[in-house]
A and B are shown apart, each in its own frame.
Chain A
Amino acid sequence: MDYSEVTERISRKFSKSGKEIDRQKVEGKLRRLIDEFGVQPSEAERSVSNELAKEFNIPAAGSSGGTGAGAGGATEQKAIAQAQPGDWVTLEGKVVSLAAPASPAIAQSGIIADESGGIRFVVWAKSNALKMKEGAWYRIESAVVDEYKNIPNLKVHSGTTITEIEKTDPLIPEPSPIRDLRPGIGSVRAKVIQEWEVTHDRMLQSGLLGDETGTVKFVIWKEPGKEKLAVGTVYSVFYAQVDEYNERLSLNITTATIMQEEGDIVTATGGDVEIRGAIVHIAPGSGIIKRCPVPGCNRALSRQNYCPIHEIQPNFVYDLRIKGWLDDGEKTHNILLKRDVVEALTGINLDQAKEIAENNPLGMDEVFLQMRDKVLGRYVACKGREIENRLLVNTCERMHFESGEHAKLLNRAGGAP
Chain B
Amino acid sequence: MSGTAPEMGRRDGSFEREPARRVFASELRECRYQFKDGEDEKSPTFVLLPTGERSNRIFIVGTLTEKTRQGEQNIFYRGRVIDPTGTFFIMAGSYQPEAMQQLAKIETPAFVAVIGKPNLYQKPDGSYLASVRVEAITVVDKDTRDLWVLDTAAHTLDRVDALATSTSPDIVKAKEQYPSVDPAVYRKMAYDALAQIKM
Contacts and interface: CB of A to CB of B under 8 A. Distances in A.
A337 to B, nearest CB: 13
A372 B140 CA distance: 11
B153 A281 contact: no
Contact of A406 (B5, B135, B199): B199
Contacts, number: 114
B85 to A, nearest CB: 12
A332 B19 contact: yes
A409 to B, nearest CB: 5
A416 B150 contact: no
Contacts of B13: 246-247, 388-389
Contacts of B44: none
Interface residues of A, number: 40
| Contact count band on B | 35 or more
Interface in B103-124: 112-115
Among A388, A409, A414, A417: residue with most chain B CB under 10 A: A409
A404 to B, nearest CB: 11
B17 A413 contact: no
A181 interface: no
B16 interface: yes
A280 B191 contact: no
Nearest to A412: B157
Interface stretch (B35-43, B71-79, B141-149, B173-181): B141-149
Interface string B53-64: 000010101000
A413 B138 contact: no
Contacts of B151: 278, 329, 379
Interface stretch (A87-95, A168-176, A395-403): A395-403
A409 B16 contact: no
Contacts of A407: 199
Q: Report whether over half of chain A's contact residues are helix, strand or loop; otherwise say mixed.
A: mixed
Interface in A365-395: 372-373, 376-379, 388-390
Contact of A413 (B5, B146, B153): B153
Interface string B125-165: 00000000001111110011011101101110100000000
A376 B138 contact: yes
Interface string A170-195: 00000000000000000000000000
A257 B6 CA distance: 38
Given A377-B115, A403-B199, A330 B19 contact: yes
Contacts of B18: 332
B187 A373 contact: no
Given A281-B136, A377-B140, A410-B194, A405 B9 contact: no
The 3 closest A-B pairs by CB, nearest first: A377-B113, A413-B191, A332-B17
Given A377-B112, A413-B187, 12 more contacts: A247-B13, A280-B20, A325-B17, A332-B19, A372-B138, A377-B137, A379-B144, A379-B148, A390-B9, A407-B199, A409-B154, A410-B191
